[in-house]
């Protein structure tokens, strides 16, 4: 367990900076985590992606497939990599307060 401080607020995170207690996630946490990754403004598209990932996690306990993210939010595939430079896992899922997915991500 590690700690990460963003703008005076401290979070318990794993070594990769994923929230250790996903239940404390709020919109404010999302904005702070995004800022940490260099995303200064969360646009409507950022929010659509993050909210969908969060909803999937709360309902099914895991991160959604990229296909569902694109089809449900209407955001184009290549655009997602631009919105979240660290990609859907280390970028979008982390901002959505999920634990780190397994695998080569």
Partner 1 sequence: MTVLTKTNIDKGLAILKNTQDSKLITNLNSCVHCGLCGESCIYYLTYKDPRYLPAQKVDLITSIYKRYCTFIGKNIPFLTNAKDLDEKNLKEMVDLFFGACTMCGRCNLHCSIGVDIAYLVRTGRMMLAEMGYIPDTIQSTVDASINTGNNMGITKEEFIDTLNWLEDDLKDEVNDEKARIPVDEKDKNILYTLNPREPKFFPLSISAMAKIFYAAKESWTISTSMYDITNYGYFTGNKEEASIIVKRLFDEMKNLNAKELILAECGHGSRAFRWEGPNYLKNKYDFKTITSVELIADYIKTGRIKVDKEKLKQRITLHDPCNLVRNGGIVNEQRYIINQIAKDFVEMTPHGIDNLCCGGGGGQLAMSEYNERRMAIGERKADQIKNTSAQIVITPCHNCVDQLIQINSYYKLNVQIKTLAEIVADAIILE
Q: Which residues are catalytic?
A: 104
Binder among 19, 29, 75, 90 for partner 1 (CB under 8 A): 90
In the complex, least distance from residue 48 CB atom to partner 1, rounded to whole angstroms: 17
Applying CB under 8 A, which of residues 23, 38, 44, 74 lies at the interface with partner 1?
Answer: 38
Q: Which is nearer to partner 1, 29 or 92 (CB)?
A: 92
Return d(Cα 16, Cα 46) in angstroms, integer.
21
**Interface with partner 1, residue 101, by CB under 8 A:** yes
Torsion sign (Cα): 28, 80, 58, 63 = negative
Residue 82, number of CB atoms within 10 A of its CB: 10
Q: Which of 16, 21, 27, 55 binds partner 1 (CB under 8 A)?
A: 16
- Report phi then psi at 98, rounded to 5: -85, 160
- Tell me the C-alpha distance between 12 and 1, whole Å: 7
Interface with partner 1, residue 62, by CB under 8 A: yes
CA atoms within 13 A on the CB side of 51: 11
Residues making contact with partner 1 (CB under 8 A): 14-18, 37-38, 62-63, 65-68, 70-71, 77-78, 85-90, 100-105
């Amino acid at each position: 367990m590690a700690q990460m401080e963003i703008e005076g607020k401290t979070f318990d995170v794993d070594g990769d900076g994923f929230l250790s207690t996903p239940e404390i996630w709020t919109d404010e946490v999302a904005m702070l985590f995004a800022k940490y990754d260099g995303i200064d403004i969360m646009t409507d598209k950022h929010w659509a992606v993050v909210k969908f990932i969060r909803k999937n996690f709360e309902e099914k306990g895991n991160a959604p497939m990229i296909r569902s993210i694109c089809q449900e939010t209407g955001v184009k595939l290549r655009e997602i990599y631009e919105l979240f430079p660290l990609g859907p896992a280390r970028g979008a899922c982390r901002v959505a307060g999920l634990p780190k997915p397994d695998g080569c991500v």
